[in-house]
Amino acid sequence: MNRTGNSAMNRANAGAAFRATLKRDLLISVKRRNDILNPFMFFIIVVSLFPIGISPESAMLRQIAAGVIWIAVLLASMLSMDSLYRSDYEDGSLEQLLLSSQPLYLLVFAKNIAHWLVSGLPVILVSPLLAYMLALPAEGYLTLVLSLLLGTPVVGMIGAIAVALTVGLGSRGLILAVITVPMSVPVLIFGTLAVQNSLAGGSPLGYLALLGAMLAAAASLAPVATAAALRISLN
């Protein structure tokens, strides 16, 4: 009974720490609105410039719409990644996380969720509007949103590992891009192919299933890798 009681208490404490970390990061993000607005506006600007730079013709835009949106999402996510652990490192709270009695990977997972909610979710919500601007047919909207819902958390968790490895460096923008972009390319490819396959009359479920498998793998392994990278960087 004692072991069962202690196990239940440990799970309750871990759940409380998870919720507290999630709530804290969301409140900090609300206070620092630029960390939310900058990637969001960057995403809109990048997508809006493609019709000007390439062609305003609907036939041309329809072919590249999914790829354009996914590329813009990847670039916007890299812009937002730099703020993931920056404030925690500067004010010393990151070291407190490492010293916490709760599992570090669980706290890291909470921070990843909070970061996706403030940087990834707004991009997904506005993506149908930008897809309409790029003349994407209506039958591709649902697949686009589903692919972004599955793919953007994967990109965010991959980026979290890169940020954790470089958290102590002063200038890390190029290093983050070098680490994150190659590992995120499969997500971009599967997300784009899912939309294109849907527009061609096929089923996008195969590509969405691959994105779902990547999300499950990332949710299982990335927080552990991020926690290990943080310990290496701060020791």
Per-residue pLDDT of the chain (235 residues; tens, 9 = 90+): 455 555 665 666 777 888 888 888 888 877 777 777 888 888 999 888 888 887 778 788 888 888 899 999 988 888 888 777 777 777 777 777 777 778 888 888 988 998 899 888 989 999 999 998 888 888 889 999 999 999 999 999 998 888 888 876 666 667 777 888 888 999 999 999 999 999 888 889 999 999 999 999 999 999 999 888 888 877 7
- For the beta carbon of residue 201, count every other beta carbon within 10 angstroms: 7
Structure tokens at 108: 């890291």
Amino acid occupying residue 166: T
pTM comes to 0.87
Model pLDDT, residue 1: 47
Q: Are 141 and 131 in contact (CB under 8 A)?
A: yes
- Angle among Cα 57, 61, 66 to the nearest 5 degrees reads 170
Model pLDDT, residue 9: 56
Model pLDDT, residue 207: 94
In the block, which residue shows the tokens 């589903």?
146
Model pLDDT, residue 48: 87
Model pLDDT, residue 84: 79
Model pLDDT, residue 97: 78
Helix (H, G, I), strand (E, B) or coil at 103: coil
